[in-house]
Amino acid sequence: MTDLSAPIELNDGTAMPRIGYGTYKVGDDEAQQAVEAALATGYRLIDTAEMYGNEVGVGRAVNGSGVPRSEVFLTTKVWNDHHGADKARAALEASLERLGTDYLDLYLIHWPSPKQGLYAETFEALLKAKEEGLIRSAGVSNFLPEHLDAVHDAVGVYPSVNQVELHPYFNQPELRAWQAERGIATESWGPLGQRTGSVLAEPAVTAAAEAHGMSPGQVVIRWHLQHGCVVIPKSSKASRIAENFEVFGFALTGDEMAAIDALETGKRQGIDPGGNER
Ligand code: NDP
C-alpha cells in the first residue's frame, strides 16, 4: 500500500510532498506568521501565487524558518497578465526576487486563459527555465484536458502537475483518471469545499469523523490523499494549520470513501477554465 506520508514522484522525477499549506487570501504580514506555523508543524510544501500578493511574506517565512531551503517545496504561479515567453520569464524573475530565493520547486501557469491563446508558449518558457535550473518542475493550474493536450502537442511533454478545483462537491473522477494515465499529478485547490455550502457538515463526513475520532476537516483531507491527490488546505488559524496536517494516523474505509464521493454535485464553485472570464 502507498505510504501517503511519503512524497509522490512527478513525471520528471522530482519528489513532491502530498500535503501542503495554501496561502490564498492570506495577506503578506499574515502569510509570514502562517507559513512559519506551517513549517514548524511539519508542512514542507507551500503554495503561493504572484496574484496572492504575499510572496514577500511567504519568502521571509521560508528563509527565516531554520528549515533548509532544500527541504521546502515552494510553488508559485504566473498570473494571466504575464502569458507569453518574455512576460512569463520576467514574472518568474520577479517572483524569485519577492520570495528571496534563486529557484522554485514548482512553477504553475495559474489559468489557461484560452482567449489569449498563449498558454503553450508560456509553458515552453517554463521548460526553458527548468533547463536553466530556475525551477525544478513545470506545471499548470485550472487546465482542462484540451489545454493539456495542446501543451503536449506543442512541446512533447505533459505538465508535471495540474492544480484544479477538487473537493467532495466537485471531485473530478474523469479528470483524475485521465491525468493519472498521462503521469500528471492532480493537486486539489479549495479542498475543503467551503466556498458554497458546507462539506464539513455533511453526514458522510461527520460520520467518518466520529468513527475515527478525527475532525471533519481531517477526514476530507484524508479523502484527497486516498484518492492520490496532492492537497493544500488553507487556514489562518495556527490550531487548524496543525490539525489539518495530522492525517496520517487513520484510514477511511472503502464505504466511507464512497459515501464522500457521493456528495458530488457536478458543479464547480469557481469559474469555468474553458470560458473567457480569465
Ligand atoms: P480551502 O478549501 O483550503 O478552505 C479554506 C477555508 O476553510 C478557510 O475559510 C478556513 O478558515 C477553513 N478551514 C481550514 N481548515 C479547517 C478545518 N480544519 N475545519 C474547518 N474549517 C477549516 O480553500 P482555499 O480556497 O484556500 O484553497 C486552498 C489553497 O488552494 C489556497 O490557499 C491556494 O493556495 C490554492 N488555490 C488555488 C487556486 C487556483 O486557481 N490555482 C484557487 C483557489 C485556491 P480559517 O482560515 O478561518 O481556518
No. of H helices and E strands in the chain? 10, 10
CA angle 90, 95, 98 (to 5 degrees): 125
| Distance from C-alpha of 69 to C-alpha of 253, rounded to nearest angstrom | 37
Q: Which residue's CA is the closest to the ligand 1 atom numbered 27?
A: 190
Q: Where are the domains of the chain?
A: 15-261
How much is the pTM? Answer: 0.98
> Under CATH, which number does the domain 15-261 receive?
3.20.20.100
| 77 CA: nearest ligand 1 atom | 41
| 240 CA: nearest ligand 1 atom | 18
- Closest CA relative to residue 63, chosen from 8, 15, 103: 103
Cell numbers 486516498 correspond to 226
| Distance from C-alpha of 261 to C-alpha of 141, rounded to nearest angstrom | 22
CA distances (Å), origin 40, targets 35, 64, 87, 215: 8, 11, 35, 21
Q: How many CB atoms lie within 10 A of CB 160?
A: 24
pLDDT of residue 277: 65
Using CB atoms within 10 A of its CB, is residue 27 exposed (0-12), middle (13-18) or buried (19+)?
Answer: middle
pLDDT of residue 278: 66
- Closest CA relative to residue 49, chosen from 81, 72, 76, 25: 76
Catalytic annotation, residues: 52
pLDDT by residue, tens only, the chain of 278 residues: 789 999 999 999 999 999 999 999 999 989 999 999 999 999 999 999 999 999 999 999 999 999 999 999 999 999 999 999 999 999 999 999 999 999 999 999 999 999 999 999 999 999 999 999 999 999 999 999 999 999 999 999 999 999 999 999 999 999 999 999 999 999 999 999 977 679 999 999 999 999 999 999 999 999 999 999 999 999 999 999 999 999 999 999 999 999 999 999 999 999 889 876 66
| 24 CA: nearest ligand 1 atom | 32
Give distance in angstroms: CA of 153 to centre of ligand 1.
34
Element of type H or E holding 62: helix 55-64
C-alpha cell at 273: 477554465
Give distance in angstroms: CA of 192 to centre of ligand 1.
6
Q: Which residue's CA is the closest to the ligand 1 atom numbered 26?
A: 234
Give distance in angstroms: CA of 194 to centre of ligand 1.
7
- Pocket of ligand 1, beta carbon within 6 A: 22-24, 47, 110, 141-142, 163, 189-192, 194, 200, 215, 217, 232-237, 240, 243-244
Give distance in angstroms: CA of 195 to centre of ligand 1.
9
pLDDT of residue 246: 98
Q: Which residue's CA is the closest to the ligand 1 atom numbered 38?
A: 189
